[in-house]
Amino acid sequence: MTTPVIVWLRHDLRLADNPAIFYAAQQGAVIPVFIDDTSQLGNWNTGAASRCWLHHSLESINHEFEGQLRLFKGNPQDVLTQLIKDTGAQAIYWNRCYTPHAIARDSSIKQTLKSQGVEVFSYNGSLLWEPWQVSKADGTAYKVFTPFYRKGCLNAAPPAEPLSRPKLTLFSEQIPYQHSLPELELLPDHPWKNQITDHWDISEDAAWRLLRQFTSERLSDYQDARDIPSLEGTSTLSPYLQWGQISPRQIWYYSQQQGNKPGLEDALDTFLKELAWREFSYYQLYHNPGITTENLNQRFNRFPWKHEAEQYHQWQQGCTGFPIIDAGMRELWQTGYMHNRVRMLVGSFLVKNQLQHWHYGARWFWDTLVDADLASNSASWQWVAGCGTDAAPYFRIFNPVTQGQKFDPDGSYVRRYLPELTDLPNRYIHTPWEAPAAVLSKAGVVLGSTYPLPILDLKETRQAALEAFSSIKETV
């Protein structure tokens, strides 16, 4: 039991239901390792908001490891090879990652280490069903969510039960070339980093508190409340899932235990479907690794996108003149998060009203979301653009005015993030340009000064989007 074994942590920064840690703990003294991977990540290096979350995640789990989490920076194969040589470790454990880069990287490292006589053990610690476990009767991949979930996932073997938190013997010898957390330089040099921590408690314990609170207080109203951005109607567990402070198996089984009450059946089913959408995103990425940059519907390769730099900047900054859009973009900037309903609205506005390529939206979200997930981010942007698997029809163009009036009728969400509109009457909170001069003056709103005028005409841009779509309808 004294032989050291390495656990290479990635997007699994927790102790409970962590297969790699659980099984490594049975074999010897555990060396928990995190490597800030600088090896050929290309266009998808971890975004600024995610790195901020990661910093605090590592700080939290290092406390759980009694200060024995070993931090490194560089090419993982080089780091692990040197670490095995210096510690005498004869085995390495990790939980699988599913991005194209990670699959190639991990396969190469596994092959190299095995050739050197090192045992390598990998597990599923991030998904309910791994992508190769679910397929149609003819062996091909599903392309539509509902049959994927209802016929594929629910007819497959059920997810494994969550594992308990193991008792650990930690390797305590000094490793001179390991880094301190500040030396990883994960925190951006910007006061924005403090805004994120003002809104989030970043730890495994915090994830569990959120899950318990959600299932006990909000699950019963989930079906309706999840669409109201001013309410705390969702679980907000996505960043904890992304960095693995909680596992989907823990959420799956705990929510079913707590939601197994009369009257909660539909709400529970809706919530579990949201977990399954995450699964479907990883499924798409696995079977279509080009989804991060390539239109799955190749007709969109001929789509007449425009790139108006000024309008894109106005969208990023939440200065479009459409309150629900601007509130969403400012929520993103201030908290590293955006309500899911509003994500659909700002996405539709960018790719359909502005005709800007979905790549620009995906890139901005990647850098500013604390739950930035390559699979979900890519699949969601392709969905809203109309070019992905089981995508929304391109002609489904969300109207930010009517959507705001429907889902934020009293303007609570808008006022939270656009305080300059606080004193506008509800009647005009989503259409300030329609307010009479006297109403604007009384509310202290000067259009074009304290709040922007609309940067585009919704009717004209909707028509332009439909015409652009018509131009690619014929088969390639």
Task: Tell me which of 192, 305, 333, 433 is the catalytic residue.
Answer: 305
Q: CB of 285 within 8 A of CB of 379? A: yes
Closest to 161 measured CA to CA, from 286, 264, 22, 25? 22
pLDDT at residue 189 tops 90: no
| pLDDT number for residue 362 | 97
Q: Tell me which residue has tokens 């981010």.
A: 377
Task: Tell me which of 358, 364, 366, 383 is the catalytic residue.
Answer: 358
Mean pLDDT of 200-205: 97
* Alpha helices per DSSP H over 338-411: 340-348, 358-368, 374-385, 400-407
| pLDDT number for residue 473 | 79
Task: Name beta bridge partners: 373.
Answer: none
Q: Tell me which residue has tokens 């979905």.
A: 358
Model confidence over 90-149: pLDDT tens digits? 999 999 999 999 999 999 999 999 999 999 999 999 999 999 999 999 999 999 999 999
Confidence of residue 41 (pLDDT cuts 50, 70, 90): low
Q: What size, in residues, is the chain?
A: 476
Mean pLDDT of 319-332: 98
| pLDDT number for residue 39 | 62
| pLDDT number for residue 394 | 78
CA atoms within 13 A on the CB side of 90: 6
| pLDDT number for residue 475 | 47
Rounded Cα distance, 338 and 335, in Å: 8
| pLDDT number for residue 45 | 86
Rounded Cα distance, 50 and 57, in Å: 10
- Assess whether 44 carries a catalytic annotation: no
- Assess whether 274 carries a catalytic annotation: yes
Token digits for 167?
């008792």
What structural domains and CATH numbers belong to the chain?
4-125 (3.40.50.620), 127-162+204-287 (1.25.40.80), 298-470 (1.10.579.10)
For 98, list phi and psi in degrees, rounded to 5: -125, 10
- Assess whether 383 carries a catalytic annotation: no
Contacts of 312 (CB under 8 A, 6+ apart): 350, 354, 356, 360
CA dihedral (292, 294, 298, 304) in degrees, to 10, reads 110
Confidence of residue 190 (pLDDT cuts 50, 70, 90): confident
Task: Tell me which of 94, 208, 364, 381 is the catalytic residue.
Answer: 381
Token digits for 270?
């809706």
- Assess whether 161 carries a catalytic annotation: no
pLDDT at residue 40 tops 60: no
Which CA distances in Å does 207 have to 63, 226, 241?
16, 18, 9
Read off the pTM.
0.95
Token digits for 222?
């989930």
CA atoms within 13 A on the CB side of 467: 7
| pLDDT number for residue 474 | 63
Element spanning 356, H or E: none
pLDDT at residue 177 tops 80: yes
- Assess whether 315 carries a catalytic annotation: no
Task: Tell me which of 44, 192, 277, 333 is the catalytic residue.
Answer: 277
Q: CB of 323 within 8 A of CB of 447? A: no
Task: Tell me which of 59, 130, 274, 294 is the catalytic residue.
Answer: 274
Please give the share of the chain, as a percent, with pLDDT higher than 70. 98
pLDDT at residue 238 tops 90: yes
Model confidence over 430-463: pLDDT tens digits? 999 999 999 999 999 999 999 999 999 999 999 9
Model confidence over 367-425: pLDDT tens digits? 999 999 999 999 999 999 999 987 777 788 999 999 999 999 999 999 999 999 999 99
Query: Helices 100-115 and 76-87 meet at what angle, rounded to 10?
Result: 30
Rounded Cα distance, 392 and 379, in Å: 11
Mean of all residue pLDDT scores within the chain? 95
Rounded Cα distance, 198 and 415, in Å: 19
- Assess whether 353 carries a catalytic annotation: no
Task: Tell me which of 340, 420, 426, 433 is the catalytic residue.
Answer: 340
Neighbours of 307 (CB within 10 A): 12
Handedness of CA 453, 459, 460, 464 (dihedral sign): positive
Closest to 133 measured CA to CA, from 160, 101, 164, 102? 160
Task: Name beta bridge partners: 433.
Answer: none
Estimate to the nearest angstrom the gap between the alpha carbon of 432 and the chain centroid.
32
Mean pLDDT of 52-79: 96
| pLDDT number for residue 476 | 43
